[in-house]
Amino acid sequence: MIEIRRAKINEAACISLLGRITFSETFGHLFSDKQDLLNYLDQTFSVDKIENSLTKTKFVLACFCE
């Protein structure tokens, strides 16, 4: 059975990694300078930023679990 629930702060590292991988695979080719891509990923998908987002009540990130 699949469960949908709010993501927990202790899952921030996995969410960060998933975001970095999916963004890179989808949009990475649009960055001519790979350092620009790395800088963007560091700013957008840092574990600290994801943890901060998960503490906000208006921000919902769902996890799908089996």
CATH code at position 61: 3.40.630.30
Per-residue pLDDT at 7: 85
- Specify the 3-state DSSP secondary structure of 52: helix
Cα gap 46→44, rounded to integer Å? 6
The total domain count for the chain is 1
The first and second tokens of residue 25, run together, are 């695979």
Range of the domain at 34: 3-65
Query: Angle at CA 27, nearest 5°, toward 3 and 10?
Result: 35
Instruction: Give me the phi and psi of 5, to 5 degrees please.
Output: -150, 170
Q: What is the pTM of this model?
A: 0.81
Per-residue pLDDT at 65: 66
For the stretch 1-31, pLDDT in tens is 777 888 889 999 999 999 999 999 999 999 9
